[in-house]
Amino acid sequence: MFLWGTATAAYQIEGAAQEDDRGASIWDTFAHEPGRTRDGHTGDVACDHYHRWREDVALMSGLGVNAYRFSIAWPRVQPLGTGALNPQGLDFYDRLVDALCEQGIQPVPTLFHWDLPQPLEDRGGWLNREISEMFAEYAAIVADRLADRVPLWITLNEPFVHMAFGYAMGIHAPGQALLTGALPSAHHQLLAHGLATQALRAAGARQVAITNNCTPVWPASQEEPDLKAADAYDVLHNRLFNDPVLIGEYPDLSAYTPALDFLRDGDLQIISTPIDALGINYYNPTRITAPAAEGLPFEDAGITGHPTTAFGWPVVPDGLRELLTGLKARYATALPPIYITENGCSQHDVVTADGRIEDQARIAYLEGHIAAMRRAMAEGVDVRGYFVWSLLDNFEWAEGYHQRFGLVHVDFETQRRTPKASYAWLKEFLEAQKTDT
Ligand code: FCB
């Protein structure tokens, strides 16, 4: 069965940051530091999903999706990140999983969507190799409780973005700006993925995947310096996270580091523990040019000539086809089945006087990207599911509540949920899929 779903993440929707013995995460710390997020927004309350989850499950059931990708907050399950369990945290996800199953919605949990327990950050965060083992311990705890009802697990969400924004540039938690010094955070996340894959299987997990954020890389010209820069960017954004997992080796990282000091014997074997599927988050291609100054071996040249989202991201639906067919060409039989675990857009949604949200641009975005995915499938790429980011408008990290990605509008003053026109469109689309098959 093809999975059609929506996706969310714990810190972006749950709120209840201090309830039921939840521990603090790096995002609690970061969002409360002055100047880190737009208008000082935090996820303290977010969509209050921790209290309103029944209503949110009902919204999904009304939409007609058969899957839901959500994330589990590690600090709810283990407030210190290691050792003692918090039964109330596990109970919350247990109830959610039951409610989803009752509605015929398959639960697809992600174990890490950037909300590392703060006590682990105090021990070095992902720069500390030991965190990988702690992650596997946490994965086993969650699987012991939920594996009987979960068809597909995602270990990590977008280790590239966590490394680049969290450790290299300091735009996201934990707010470190180490540039290439951030590379060990990639390796330790990948190691954590491998160890967790093994722990999940030992605990009875059915299928395991990792979600990588991938982008087609477009050289700004066919001149040698631009081609070289584009290749270097492709290595950093895509291959650094796909190669070790799928083929058990790192790409040539010499443009970034003279030596892989963080790599130990046996690590790549762990990282390439076979997975059942690859999660892909796609938002846009990236156009790259040779750098004008010393420093990184590439520069983002920007993409013009396409519509843009409220975030300013170029809307290039065919980039999804290009990405998927490119993965197939690159990895051939080493490429497992793919789930599009996120795709969607922020728009300047307007609530009309009579309370409607006519988000036609979002409908066009989704329609275009689903069609592009289908073209890739017709070209032989094995895609098994598609998840819209996101079910609800939510806390968009450093942008706070300013970027709205939901199929459902959230009034953050009242927590009132209002399905947008895109929700009605998707509902009708999903109904048509049922009659087609
Ligand atoms: C992805 C994140 C997700 C959301 C979307 C817009 O990079 O995984 O949490 O912020 O972007």
Tens of pLDDT along 346-363?
Answer: 999 999 999 999 999 999
Q: What total number of domains does the chain contain? A: 1
342 classed as catalytic = yes
- Assign 437 a pLDDT band (cuts: 50, 70, 90): low
Average pLDDT over the chain reads 98
Pick from 210, 217, 359: nearest CA to 274: 210
Tens of pLDDT along 74-101?
Answer: 999 999 999 999 999 999 999 999 999 9
Ligand 1, pocket-test mutation among 281, 309, 399, most atoms within 8 A of CB: 281
On whether the CB atoms of residues 252 and 234 are closer than 8 A, the answer is no
Cα of 70 vs centre of ligand 1, distance in Å, is 12
Cα of 130 vs centre of ligand 1, distance in Å, is 26
The predicted pLDDT at position 167 comes to 98
Tens of pLDDT along 235-290?
Answer: 999 999 999 999 999 999 999 999 999 999 999 999 999 999 999 999 999 999 99
Q: Whose CA is nearest to atom 9 of ligand 1?
A: 9
On whether the CB atoms of residues 135 and 111 are closer than 8 A, the answer is yes
Domain that holds residue 26: 3-436
158 classed as catalytic = yes
SS3 for 159?
helix
Q: Whose CA is nearest to atom 5 of ligand 1?
A: 389
Is residue 420 scored above 80 in pLDDT? yes
Based on the number of CB atoms within 10 Å of its own CB, is 430 exposed (0-12), middle (13-18) or buried (19 or more)?
middle
CATH code, domain carrying 291: 3.20.20.80
pTM: 0.98
Ligand 1, pocket-test mutation among 162, 212, 342, 399, most atoms within 8 A of CB: 342
Percent over 90 (pLDDT), the chain: 98
